[in-house]
Amino acid sequence: MVDNVVMRLKIVQAGEPVLRASSRPLSADEIRMPAMQDLLTHMRDTMRDAPGVGIAAPQVGLGIQLAVIEDRADYLAGIKPELLAERERAPIEYFVLFNPRIVAYSEEATDFFEGCLSVAGFSALVRRSRRVTVEYLNERAEPQRLEASGWFARILQHEIDHLNGRLYIDLMETRTFSSMDNIARHWKDFSILELRDKLGIADHSQEPG
């Protein structure tokens, strides 16, 4: 018997039609099906194995309104405290969202680098609302509502975009698009304001999202 077997699903890449289509909502009965609970396990394993802080069903080829999120403490190791503070980033325990929708956005916006498991190997600066309110169903099809800010709000917006056929590259500051290797080599230790200054990009961080 083999313990802790990772059930990794195939992550589709930009250009697959499923990433550009609106996903369908799920009924409470569908959410509670054993097969759906198995899918959640496989998506969690795939996210952790990648590794990533979230994954949406379209990224594994399924056009349904489902995403899982987790930002583990070990992912934050090695990031300078001042950069964690700038990003408002803290660990997020694993959780599931079915049929999520953002019901409120803050006018205040922030700009940070985002990557995506479906645009593998690249990242760019993306402006998003600093705070959001999200309504969704959990894995038992129970209605939930949460308010998030900082990095957590960014992850939610990124994953919910996937369910509406949008990728971060649709929103990115194009001059900042870079390979992950080059970000690590040249840009990772700069604040966002320093980065904008070096690349000659105007600061839009206080404009509405």
The per-residue pLDDT for range 94-150, each reduced to its tens digit, is 999 999 999 999 999 999 999 999 999 999 999 999 999 999 999 999 999 999 999
Catalytic residues: 159
Q: If phi over 0 gives left and psi between -120 and 50 gives alpha, with beta otherwise, what is residue 88?
A: left
Tens digit of each residue's pLDDT (9 = 90 or more) over 144-194:
999 999 999 999 999 999 999 999 999 999 999 999 999 989 988 888 888
pTM: 0.91
**CB atoms inside a 10 Å sphere around CB 29:** 9
Q: What is the pLDDT of residue 209?
A: 40
Spacing of C-alpha 185 from chain mean position: 23
Q: Which of 67, 64, 22, 74 is nearest to 43 (CA)?
A: 67
Distance CA 70, CA 61 (A): 20
Domain boundaries, the chain: 17-199
Tell me the chain's radius of gyration from C-alpha atoms. 17
The architecture of the domain spanning 17-199 is Alpha-Beta Complex (3.90)
Q: Average pLDDT in the 41-66 region? A: 98
Which uninterrupted H or E stretch holds 54?
A: strand 54-56
